[in-house]
Amino acid sequence: MGSENDVLLDVKDLHKAFSLKGGGFLRRTVGYIRAVDGVSFSVARGETVGVVGESGCGKTTLGRCIVRIYQPTSGEIALYLGDRSLAVHQLRREDSRLFRSSVQMIFQDPYSSLDQHMNILSLVGEPLLVNGIARGKEIEERVAEMIRRVGLHIEHLRRFPHSFSGGQRQRISIARALIVNPKLLIADEPVSALDASIQAQILNLLIDLQQEFNLSYLFITHNMSVIRYVSDRIVVMYAGKLVEMAPKEVLLTEPRHPYTEALLSSVPRVSRRDGVRTVTYGEPPDLLHLPPGCVFHPRCRYAQGICKEEQPKLRPIGLGRFVSCHLADDLQLWGVQSSPRPMSLS
């Protein structure tokens, strides 16, 4: 979608494995957890790519590799900034400042992601100081402006995180992340810990800020409805693999991977009171002992012989659509209906 010049982030065949060490004197490696196992996708300028999947799918690890909390085991992460391109997976020291002011992250737990001993002015101003972007009075001015922009007040600057609600703390985290004017924001379950009525406030804030600052988002969540609301394109992950990627509406209405179908049919829905839902049995695999062939095959209603033997590769299956399934060309899968069901409000 768009020309190559539009690409901001390009992830190629990313792998992140964690070695599990046994006990005993030598603590030998007993196995590897392939948290991210060969993931490739890109994010364009101004775009929101939603990454969805259940526990153990690797979406959080993916986000952390991109923001350099983890060092990838192999693969490439390229960040395109104007006339420069940074190799994030092997970042040169002289590029770290540029990187940190280009890519930022916000986290799920508003209660543990802010230093309790720093007031809001310090918290939101710290990135400016640390990255050498501003000093002294200018910091306070920029922080004040950012705080207002995220819906808080000047009076809040001298207060500490404990006096704020979960939703307000997320606003503070957003302010802290965006004050350096990044191009890419990685949001890892930013609203999951918030009450339903507050989630909407934060989601709308993120959408508005995206417009205003022309940001790209990598939006990581397990919640399909939230992903639908914020994303342009959706990436579905399972057990470390990217199983399907497509523009939002077609992924939801015409999924091409059985796991996407399973996810969609599992989501509880207000409109489906008496409807039949397809329950997918079993559980995500133990990442230390992945099944042979396709990682999803033990739970897949359509699995055939080849699925148990050969790992499918991610391949294009239409405009902007990619799927990792041997049977994708032959399967007719069910998605969500797209026609609106009006709610009557007196």
Partner 1 sequence: MDTSAVQASQQLLEVRDLQAYFYLHEGTVRAVDGVSFDVCCGRTLGVIGESGCGKSVTAQAILRLVPEPPGRIVGGHIWLHPPETDAGPGAAVDIAALDSTGDEIRAIRWKEIAMIFQEPMTSFSPIHTVGDQITEAMLIHLPQMTRQETRDRAIELLDSVGIPKADQLVDAYSYQLSGGMRQRAMIAMALSCGPRLLIADEPTTALDVTIEAQILALLKELKSRLQMAMMYISHDLAVISEVSDDVMVMYLGVVVETASAITVFDRPLHPYTQALRRSIPTLEGEITRLTPIAGTLPRPYATHAGCRFYSRCESRMEGECDRTPPELIEVAPGHKVRCHKYVSA
Taking the complex as a whole, how short is the minimal distance between the CB of residue 144 and partner 1, in angstroms?
21
Question: What is the footprint of partner 1 within residues 178-217 (CB under 8 A)?
Answer: 195-201, 203-204
Those residues whose C-beta lies under 8 Å from the C-beta of residue 334, and which sit 6 or more positions away, are 255, 261, 264, 265, 278
Taking the complex as a whole, how short is the minimal distance between the CB of residue 321 and partner 1, in angstroms?
19
Measured at the alpha carbon of residue 1, what is the angle toward residues 51 and 200, in degrees to the nearest 5?
A: 40
- Going from the C-alpha of 214 to that of each of 6, 44, 48, 185, the distances in angstroms are 12, 11, 11, 11
By beta-carbon proximity to partner 1, the closer residue of 139 and 263 is 263
Which of 68, 280, 291, 298 touches partner 1 (CB under 8 A)? 280
Of the chain, the end-to-end C-alpha distance in Å amounts to 43
By beta-carbon proximity to partner 1, the closer residue of 56 and 312 is 56
Near partner 1 by CB under 8 A, which window of 82-90, 105-113, 134-142, 272-280?
A: 272-280
Near partner 1 by CB under 8 A, which window of 7-15, 224-232, 310-318, 326-334?
A: 224-232
Told to check if 267 binds partner 1 by CB under 8 A, we report yes
Near partner 1 by CB under 8 A, which window of 21-29, 65-73, 218-226, 311-319?
A: 218-226
- Going from the C-alpha of 342 to that of each of 110, 249, 250, 271, the distances in angstroms are 35, 19, 22, 10
Question: What is the footprint of partner 1 within residues 33-92 (CB under 8 A)?
Answer: 54-55
Told to check if 167 binds partner 1 by CB under 8 A, we report yes
Taking the complex as a whole, how short is the minimal distance between the CB of residue 169 and partner 1, in angstroms?
12
By beta-carbon proximity to partner 1, the closer residue of 97 and 269 is 269
By beta-carbon proximity to partner 1, the closer residue of 142 and 171 is 171
Near partner 1 by CB under 8 A, which window of 92-100, 132-140, 275-283, 310-318?
A: 275-283
By beta-carbon proximity to partner 1, the closer residue of 26 and 343 is 343
By beta-carbon proximity to partner 1, the closer residue of 137 and 341 is 341
By beta-carbon proximity to partner 1, the closer residue of 16 and 171 is 171
d(CA 214, CA 10): 18
Told to check if 137 binds partner 1 by CB under 8 A, we report no
Taking the complex as a whole, how short is the minimal distance between the CB of residue 199 and partner 1, in angstroms?
8
Taking the complex as a whole, how short is the minimal distance between the CB of residue 240 and partner 1, in angstroms?
15
Amino acid at 22: G
Which of 74, 85, 116, 337 touches partner 1 (CB under 8 A)? 337
| Contacting positions for partner 1 (CB under 8 A) | 54-55, 165, 167-168, 195-201, 203-204, 222, 224-226, 228-229, 252, 262-273, 277, 279-281, 283-284, 336-341, 343-346
